Amino acid sequence: MEWLGRARIGLTHAPTPLPLKRKDGEKTDLRNVCEKVIPPCQLNPLLFNGHMQTFWTATKQHGPPLYYKRKIFDADNDDFHGTFAVDFATDPFEETNDSLPPRTVYFNEKELENLGSDDTRPQLVVLHGLSGGSHEIYLRHAIAPLVADRAWDVCVVNSRGCAKSAFTSGVLYNARATWDIRQVVKWLHEKFPNRPLFGLGFSLGANMLTNYCGEEGADCLLKAAVVCSTPFNLEAACKSLKRSFLGNEVYQKVMGTSMKELILGHKNTLSKYTQLNFNNIENCTYLYEFDREVQCPTWGYPTEDAYYRDASSCDALVAIRIPFLALTSEDDPIVPQETIPYDEFKQNPYTILCTTSLGGHLCWFELGGGRWHSKSVPNFLNYMAFEVDLDSFNPKDDFVPGLWKETRFDPVKRKMHTVRTTQ
For 318-354, write each residue's pLDDT tens digit: 999 999 999 999 999 999 999 999 999 999 999 999 9
DSSP-assigned letter for residue 104: E
% pLDDT > 90, the chain: 89
Per the domain annotation, does 204 fall within a domain? yes
- CA of 233: how far to CAs of 106, 237, 305, in Å? 36, 6, 11
Same domain, 306 and 319: no
Same domain, 322 and 196: yes
Helix, strand or coil, per DSSP, at residue 365:
strand
- CA of 281: how far to CAs of 47, 257, 265, 307, 414, in Å? 35, 10, 12, 17, 30
Same domain, 164 and 123: yes
- 253 Rama class: left (phi>0) / alpha (psi -120 to 50) / beta: alpha
Amino acid 262 reads L
Tens digit of pLDDT for each residue in 44-100? 999 999 999 999 988 877 899 999 999 999 999 999 999 999 999 999 999 899 999
Give the integer Cα–Cα distance in Å for 257 and 277.
16
Same domain, 151 and 210: yes
Same domain, 276 and 317: no
Residue 415 has pLDDT above 80, yes or no: no
State the virtual CA torsion across 406, 14, 178, 136 in degrees, nearest 10: 170
Confidence band, pLDDT 50/70/90 cuts, at residue 419 = very low
Same domain, 210 and 94: yes
CB atoms within 10 A of CB 414: 13
C-alpha 354: how far from chain center: 15
Give the integer Cα–Cα distance in Å for 42 and 186.
39
The end-to-end CA distance of the chain, in Å, is 64
Residue 180 has pLDDT above 50, yes or no: yes
Residues designated catalytic: 203, 332, 361
Same domain, 252 and 401: no
Q: What is the CATH number of the domain that holds 225?
A: 3.40.50.1820
Give the integer Cα–Cα distance in Å for 401 and 269.
52
Tens digit of pLDDT for each residue in 358-367? 999 999 999 9
Confidence band, pLDDT 50/70/90 cuts, at residue 421 = very low
Per the domain annotation, does 422 fall within a domain? no
Pick from 71, 215, 206, 189: nearest CA to 136:
206
Q: What is the mean pLDDT of the chain?
A: 94
| Residue 401 phi, psi (nearest 5) | -55, 130
Residue 423 has pLDDT above 70, yes or no: no
Yes or no: say if 353 and 340 are a contact pair by the CB < 8 Å rule: yes
Confidence band, pLDDT 50/70/90 cuts, at residue 176 = very high
Question: How many structural domains comprise the chain?
Answer: 2
| Residue 327 phi, psi (nearest 5) | -105, 130
Which pLDDT score is estimated for 395?
A: 85
CB atoms within 10 A of CB 420: 4
Same domain, 31 and 178: yes
Residue 117 has pLDDT above 60, yes or no: yes
% pLDDT > 70, the chain: 96
Same domain, 138 and 75: yes
Same domain, 114 and 67: yes
Tens digit of pLDDT for each residue in 196-217? 999 999 999 999 999 999 999 9
Which pLDDT score is estimated for 61?
A: 77
Q: What is the pTM of this model?
A: 0.95
Q: Which of 281, 311, 341 is the last residue of a domain?
A: 311
Which pLDDT score is estimated for 148?
A: 93
Per the domain annotation, does 246 fall within a domain? yes
Yes or no: say if 158 and 139 are a contact pair by the CB < 8 Å rule: no
Confidence band, pLDDT 50/70/90 cuts, at residue 149 = confident
Amino acid 189 reads H
Which pLDDT score is estimated for 206?
A: 98
Same domain, 281 and 197: no
Which pLDDT score is estimated for 292?
A: 98
- CA of 22: how far to CAs of 11, 39, 59, 159, 335, in Å? 21, 20, 42, 36, 34
Confidence band, pLDDT 50/70/90 cuts, at residue 408 = low
| Residue 197 phi, psi (nearest 5) | -105, 140
C-alpha 62: how far from chain center: 22
Residue 422 has pLDDT above 60, yes or no: no
Residue 4 has pLDDT above 90, yes or no: no
Sign of torsion, CA 345 349 350 352?
positive
Give the integer Cα–Cα distance in Å for 110 and 65.
25
Domain region containing 253: 234-311
Confidence band, pLDDT 50/70/90 cuts, at residue 420 = very low
Pick from 227, 286, 229: nearest CA to 53:
229
Which pLDDT score is estimated for 321?
A: 96
Q: Which of 311, 341, 365 is the last residue of a domain?
A: 311
Determine the Cα angle at 62 with ends 149 and 123, to 5°: 35
Same domain, 79 and 145: yes
Tens digit of pLDDT for each residue in 251-301? 999 999 999 999 999 999 999 999 999 999 999 999 999 999 999 999 999
Q: Which of 268, 295, 311 is the last residue of a domain?
A: 311
Helix, strand or coil, per DSSP, at residue 215:
helix
The secondary structure element, H or E, covering residue 299 is helix 295-299
Beta strands in 128-281 (DSSP E): 153-157, 197-202, 222-228
CB atoms within 10 A of CB 164: 17
Per the domain annotation, does 180 fall within a domain? yes
